[in-house]
Amino acid sequence: MGFLHCVLSEWPFLRIRLLRTRLGVWLLLLLVVVLRLDGTAAVSDPLAAVLLIAGAGATLCVAYLAGARADRVTLGPALLHPRSPGALTVGRWLAATGGAALPVLAAAVHAGAGVAVAGLVTAATMSAWALALAWSGGNVLVGAWLIWLALTGGQSPEAMLAHPHPGALRFGIAGALEILPGLWRYRGLASLEVGAVVHAVLWLSIGLVIARSRVRRAGEAP
């Protein structure tokens, strides 16, 4: 079968995990909690809320669709049928992005098309990156990434270095915020800022390439 057909065959993972695991509940909780916090804040920032939902939602979806040990063990057997590692990777990435898109679109209903697009692109980038983490180190890395997102949120490197004596730790965190996929940077996606778009596309590609190489290795494992 063709590449596209094999990509689409990964979609049942989303349906099954949404309905038969706690993924659906977690996504709903994420949506409600973030919107509630945004609603009670002194200054409402729908874009930040949507981006946080996109990032955390994509990471959660990857954890439930691909990060568990039992899921990683089945990567090799999946390649015993004529499907390519690339098709499997793209299919699972699209499924995770699709799962994250549900709360993103729900949150962006009243925020405008620009915010929705920023949320969807952020979800796509974050799920590709989380997929690379999941197939490199399992849900331990995915969980660490989720904690990183929760702690740093939409903070920018400049805000991190605003302290009079930043110290090595703050410099390190600021460096990571500058390089890694970051919610602060993807605010620019809402206004189609070139730097944000390039950064998102670059990390999306890096994530997919790493994930694909991990799948290929799983298929060759002795």
Residues that bind other proteins (CB under 8 A): 1, 5-6, 8-9, 12-13, 16-17, 20-21, 68, 70-71, 73-74, 76-83, 219-220, 222
92 or 199: whose CB is closer to other proteins? Answer: 92
User: What is the Cα 26 distance to its own chain's centre?
Assistant: 15
User: Six-digit token pair at 10?
Assistant: 């990964």
* Minimum CB–partner distance for residue 89 and other proteins (Å): 14
φ, ψ dihedrals at 48, nearest 5°: -60, -40
CB 38 within 8 A of CB 47: no
Kind plus residue range of the DSSP H or E element containing 198 = helix 194-220
50 or 96: whose CB is closer to other proteins? Answer: 96
* Minimum CB–partner distance for residue 66 and other proteins (Å): 10
Neighbouring C-alpha atoms within 13 Å toward the C-beta of 161: 12
4 or 198: whose CB is closer to other proteins? Answer: 4
Nearest to 59 by CA among 157, 136, 147: 147
7 or 204: whose CB is closer to other proteins? Answer: 7
* Minimum CB–partner distance for residue 28 and other proteins (Å): 18
